[in-house]
Amino acid sequence: TLKKCASDEINYLLNAWRGPFDESQDFVYDNFNVEIKTISPSNSVVKINSLYQLSVPLNKELYLGVIQARLDVKGTTIGDLYEEILVIVDSLKGKKQIFLDALMAKGLTSSTIVKYCDLKFKLIENYFYTVNESDFPCLTPKNVNSAIVDATYMLDLGSLAKYETKI
């Protein structure tokens, strides 16, 4: 989606990527947030790692994005994506340092990314689910006993069809 954005939007989109800075959700925009999970095509569950990942922010929408990807010798490496993003940001006159700072927050640099260049992935499909529904199956600080301070759980995607949406 970076390729499709206008030059003045690129820095906004780069700044929205908050996952590397350990915020509750991966992407934080003005009107909505998105939590992203990646699974293999043979998997039908996602792992939710805290009570906050699917906790709907005040006065905002929250979406769960699920990306299906598989290992594929004709696929794309993390290094390929890194280079592609830098080229796109540069072509749109964005601030590459925003992207580089996010990677650095997780200890990734141009020299450490090469460790992942032997793994190639192919995107199969992506799905988005609206989490805002009051009956969306999730554990959050609002719906668990206050004595529970953290939880990790698996969410079955097969039961989420009624929440599927486009964003």
One-letter amino acid of 151 = A
Tokens of 157: 């995607």
pLDDT in tens, 119-130: 999 999 999 999
Residue 7 has pLDDT above 80, yes or no: no
- Residue range 139-149: mean pLDDT, rounded: 95
Band of the pLDDT at 5, cuts 50, 70, 90?
confident
pLDDT in tens, 15-66: 999 999 999 999 999 999 999 999 999 999 999 999 999 999 999 999 999 9
Pairwise pLDDT comparison (137 vs 133), residue with the higher score = 137
Tokens of 109: 């640099």
